[in-house]
Amino acid sequence: MPRPISAALHLDAFDNNLQVIRRVAPTAKIWAVVKANAYGHGLKRVWQSLANTDGFALLDLAEAVMLREAGWQGPILLLEGFFQTQDLALLDRYRLTTSVHSDWQLAAIAEARLSAPLEVYLKINSGMNRLGFAPARLPQIWQQTQRIRNIASTTLMSHFATADGPQGVTQQMATLDAAAEALPLPRCLANSAATLWHPATHGSWVRPGIILYGASPSGQWHDITDTGLQPAMSLRSEIIAVQTLQPGDRVGYGWRYAASAVQRIGIVACGYADGYPRHAPSGTPVWVDGVLTHTVGTVSMDMLAVDLTPCPQANIGTPVELWGRHLPVDEVAAAAGTLGYELLTALAPRVPVVTG
């Protein structure tokens, strides 16, 4: 028998979540962001459940090629563009749309021998200060793209730093509006947070990632409870041993937890080598057999311990959900001081992925 842990994919959730996005952004096309192996869910496994999207956006050329060869014929956007001039041969062959954030990329496209022109997303640095041309250069660069025969069309692209928080998008939108004034450029700006909460950013295409997977861009589950988004993954395991602690007995590495009374605890086959966060403190929520309980002690590589006081019927073989349909990944992430993004993308390769 394998270890009882698995990541169950709820494939229906993907189409549901796409429909939610269509409702909130009815006039925009959707780039389904599937970077990082579809946020840990497995691109190969899930792309067909997202086939009602208008396009797929990702980073890795190999993933783009895989998607084409698997049969996706629609648009594919490379979010960070290409990394070397030689990559253009693959962009040409597989008809990939590329972001362009640096002068060398424009020069490389201008000089390439392509079978047909490429669609280009001009990335403007509107305040994130990661990738992109300075806003003041936009008119000149746009003119340049107009003269490059290898460019079929140009879209304005930028990325928001605070669309999920109180600062919102006002400052970056003002920067973009000033830079793009009077230029006839379609826009692609909105990540999940902007898609949900800032309709003025929607433009021609939105680029949602995390909400496709049913987690919150803000890290707060209550921010998306009313949207109809559904989690696409449940990380499940079982109790493989039970201990009865006496007052003062301690649990796990570092003996960080001590029982204050007689207490039953369950040992769950899930640890940080499965992708569960090691820094999750005692008290992190865990769903056991229909009841919410919490971890006790330090998460080990292969196991963690849970308090069985609220579920006295639990025993060896009892099902456990670490996150998913009964327990939003955002709540586990919040307890561990991180985001659902990090937990989902950190799912370890050793965890078998199943559907259902």
Binding site for ligand PLP (CB under 6 A): 33, 35, 79, 159, 191-192, 207-210, 217
Exposure on the CB side of residue 157, measured as CA atoms within 13 A: 26
Of residues 197 and 272, the one with the C-beta less far from ligand PLP: 197
CB of 336 to ligand PLP, least distance (A): 19
Cα–Cα distance measured from residue 325 to residue 162, given in angstroms and rounded to the nearest whole number: 28
Asked about 253 being catalytic, the answer comes back as yes
Going by C-alpha positions, the residue among 180, 54, 49, 84 that lies closest to residue 124 is 180
Q: Which amino acid is at 218?
A: S
Of residues 72 and 121, the one with the C-beta less far from ligand PLP: 121
Of residues 30 and 299, the one with the C-beta less far from ligand PLP: 30
Catalytic hit among 35, 213, 272, 341: 35
The DSSP secondary structure of 198-229, one letter per residue, reads -GGG--SEE---GGGGT--TTS-GGGTTTTT-
Cα–Cα distance measured from residue 316 to residue 268, given in angstroms and rounded to the nearest whole number: 9
CB of 215 to ligand PLP, least distance (A): 9
CB of 132 to ligand PLP, least distance (A): 10
Q: In the complex, which residue's CB is closest to ligand PLP?
A: 209
CB of 187 to ligand PLP, least distance (A): 13
CB of 307 to ligand PLP, least distance (A): 33
CB of 142 to ligand PLP, least distance (A): 19
CB of 25 to ligand PLP, least distance (A): 12
Q: Please count the other Cβ atoms lying within 10 Å of the Cβ belonging to residue 129.
A: 8
Which of the 8 DSSP states describes residue 302?
S
Beta-bridged to residue 244, according to DSSP, are 264
Of residues 40 and 275, the one with the C-beta less far from ligand PLP: 40
Cα–Cα distance measured from residue 215 to residue 212, given in angstroms and rounded to the nearest whole number: 8
Of residues 249 and 342, the one with the C-beta less far from ligand PLP: 342
- Strand 304-307 to 291-296 pairing: antiparallel
Which stretch of DSSP H or E encloses residue 24? Answer: helix 11-24
Residues in contact with 49: Cβ distance below 8 Å, sequence separation at least 6, in sequence order: 11, 12, 14, 15
Residues making up the chain, counted from first to last: 356
* Cβ proximity of 33 and 27 under 8 Å: no
* Cβ proximity of 191 and 138 under 8 Å: no
Q: What angle do CA 78, 81, 87 make, to 5 degrees?
A: 95
Catalytic hit among 44, 121, 253, 276: 253
Active-site annotation, residues: 35, 253
